[in-house]
Chains A and B, each alone.
Chain A
Amino acid sequence: MITESTWTNIGPVSNYPLNLGSCVKVGGKQIAIFNLPTEQKWYAVQNFNPQNQRMVLSRGLTGDADGVPIVICPLHKYRYSLETGECFTESTYSLETFPIKVDGDSLVIEA
Chain B
Amino acid sequence: MKERVIVIGNGMVGYKFCERLAEKDSENKFQIVTFCEEPRPAYDRVHLSEYFSGKSADDLSMAKFDWYEENGVELHVGEKVTQIDKVAKHVITSSGKVVKYDKLVMATGSAPFVPPVPGIDNKGVFVYRTIEDLDAIKEYSKGARTCAVIGGGLLGLEAAKAAQDLGLTTHVVEFAPRLMPRQLDNAAGTLLKDVIEDRGIKVHLSKSTSNIAGDGEVKAMEFADGSELKVDMIIVSAGIKPRDELARDTGLEVGPRGGIQVDSYLLTSDPNIFAIGECALYEGMIYGLVAPGYQMADAVSELLMGNEATFTGADMSTKLKLIGTDVASFGAIEIPADSNAREIVINDTHNNLFKKLIISEDGTKLLGGILVGDASAYGTLHQMYLNEMTIKCDPIQLIMPASDGEPAGVGVGDLPDSAQICSCEAVTKGDLCSAIEKGCSSVAELKSCTKAGTGCGGCVPMITDLFKQKMRESGAEVSDRLCEHFDLSRKQMYQVVRATGIKSFDELLEKHGTGLGCEICKPAAANILASTWNLPILEHSSLQDSNDAFLANIQQDGTYSVIPRIPGGEITPDKLIVIGEVAKKYNLYMKLTGGQRIDLLGARAADLPPIWKELIDAGFESGHAYGKALRTVKSCVGSTWCRFGVQDSTTLAIDIEKRYRGIRSPHKLKGGVSGCTRECAEARSKDFGIIATEKGWNLFVCGNGGITPRHGDLFATDLDRETLIKYIDRFLMYYIKTADRLERTSTWMTKLEGGLAHLQDVVINDSLGICEELESQMAHLIGSYECEWKNAIEDPEKLKRFSHFQNTEEVDETVEFVDIRGQICPARLNEANEEESDELAKA
Q: Chain B residues with Cβ under 8 A from A38's Cβ? A: 506, 516
CB of B556 within 8 A of CB of A54, answer yes
Q: Chain A residues with Cβ under 8 A from B519's Cβ? A: 61, 63, 72, 77, 79
A104 to B584, CA, bound (A): 45
If A20-B541, A92-B55 touch, whether A63 touches B516 (CB-CB below 8 Å) is yes
- A24 CB to closest chain B CB, in angstroms? 4
The A-B contact count (CB < 8 A) is: 107
**With an 8 A cutoff between CB atoms, is B653 at the interface?**
no
Q: Chain A residues with Cβ under 8 A from B541's Cβ? A: 20
B55, B506, B806: the one contacting A22 at CB < 8 Å is: B806
* Closest chain B residue to A70, Cβ basis: B518
**With an 8 A cutoff between CB atoms, is A50 at the interface?**
yes
CB of B542 within 8 A of CB of A74, answer no
A23 to B546, CA, bound (A): 14
* Closest chain A residue to B50, Cβ basis: A92
CB of B516 within 8 A of CB of A93, answer no
Chain B interface secondary structure, helix, strand, loop or mixed?
Answer: loop
A28 to B124, CA, bound (A): 36
If A23-B804, A36-B516, A61-B545 touch, whether A50 touches B558 (CB-CB below 8 Å) is no
CB of B800 within 8 A of CB of A17, answer yes
**With an 8 A cutoff between CB atoms, is A102 at the interface?**
no
Q: Chain A residues with Cβ under 8 A from B829's Cβ? A: 53
CB of A11 within 8 A of CB of B515, answer no
CB of A75 within 8 A of CB of B808, answer no
* Closest chain B residue to A56, Cβ basis: B558
- A93 CB to closest chain B CB, in angstroms? 6
Q: Chain A residues with Cβ under 8 A from B814's Cβ? A: 30, 54-55
* Closest chain A residue to B515, Cβ basis: A64
- A2 CB to closest chain B CB, in angstroms? 26
Q: Per-residue 0/1 for B472-515: is the Cβ within 8 Å of any A Cβ (1 yes, 0 no)?
A: 00000000000011000000000000000000001000000001
**With an 8 A cutoff between CB atoms, is B319 at the interface?**
no
Q: Chain A residues with Cβ under 8 A from B544's Cβ? A: 61
**With an 8 A cutoff between CB atoms, is B26 at the interface?**
no
CB of B806 within 8 A of CB of A59, answer no
* Closest chain B residue to A52, Cβ basis: B556
Determine the interface band of chain B, counting residues with CB < 8 A from chain A: 35 or more
A17, A54, A64: the one contacting B517 at CB < 8 Å is: A64
CB of B554 within 8 A of CB of A75, answer yes
- A72 CB to closest chain B CB, in angstroms? 4
CB of B54 within 8 A of CB of A17, answer no
CB of A20 within 8 A of CB of B801, answer yes
Among A59-102, those with CB < 8 Å from B are 59-67, 69-70, 72, 74-75, 77, 79, 90-93
Among B329-377, those with CB < 8 Å from A are none
CB of A11 within 8 A of CB of B542, answer no
**With an 8 A cutoff between CB atoms, is B550 at the interface?**
yes
Q: Per-residue 0/1 for B543-573: is the Cβ within 8 Å of any A Cβ (1 yes, 0 no)?
A: 1111101100010111000000000000000
A11 to B683, CA, bound (A): 54
A72 to B812, CA, bound (A): 20
A24 to B815, CA, bound (A): 16
Of the listed residues A25, A36, A39, A60, the one surrounded by the most CB atoms of chain B closer than 10 A to its CB is A25
Q: Chain A residues with Cβ under 8 A from B831's Cβ? A: none
Q: Chain B residues with Cβ under 8 A from A59's Cβ? A: 546, 549-550, 554, 558, 605
Of the listed residues B485, B558, B800, the one surrounded by the most CB atoms of chain A closer than 10 A to its CB is B558
A39 to B485, CA, bound (A): 16
A1 to B611, CA, bound (A): 53
* Closest chain A residue to B806, Cβ basis: A22
CB of A24 within 8 A of CB of B806, answer yes
A17, A62, A72, A92: the one contacting B56 at CB < 8 Å is: A92
A94 to B314, CA, bound (A): 41
A1 to B391, CA, bound (A): 86
CB of A92 within 8 A of CB of B59, answer yes
Q: Chain B residues with Cβ under 8 A from A60's Cβ? A: 546
A24 to B549, CA, bound (A): 19
Q: Chain A residues with Cβ under 8 A from B515's Cβ? A: 63-64, 67
A74 to B546, CA, bound (A): 6
A61 to B520, CA, bound (A): 10
Among B514-537, those with CB < 8 Å from A are 515-519, 521-523
- A29 CB to closest chain B CB, in angstroms? 11
A50, A52, A64, A74: the one contacting B518 at CB < 8 Å is: A64
- B268 CB to closest chain A CB, in angstroms? 40
**With an 8 A cutoff between CB atoms, is B198 at the interface?**
no
**With an 8 A cutoff between CB atoms, is A42 at the interface?**
no
Among B688-707, those with CB < 8 Å from A are none
**With an 8 A cutoff between CB atoms, is A3 at the interface?**
no
B554, B808, B815: the one contacting A25 at CB < 8 Å is: B808
A38 to B79, CA, bound (A): 57
Known: A17-B801, A92-B55. 7 other contacts (CB 8 A): A24-B805, A33-B806, A36-B516, A39-B516, A63-B517, A64-B515, A67-B515
Q: Which 8 A-B pairs have the closest CB atoms?
A: A74-B546, A63-B518, A19-B542, A64-B516, A22-B806, A72-B519, A92-B54, A24-B807
Name A residues whose Cβ lies closer than 8 Å to a Cβ of B. Answer: 10-11, 15-17, 19-20, 22-26, 30, 33, 36, 38-39, 50, 52-56, 59-67, 69-70, 72, 74-75, 77, 79, 90-93
Q: What are 14 A-B pairs at a CB distance below 8 A? A: A10-B806, A11-B807, A17-B801, A38-B516, A50-B54, A54-B556, A55-B815, A56-B554, A61-B543, A64-B516, A74-B546, A77-B519, A90-B54, A92-B54
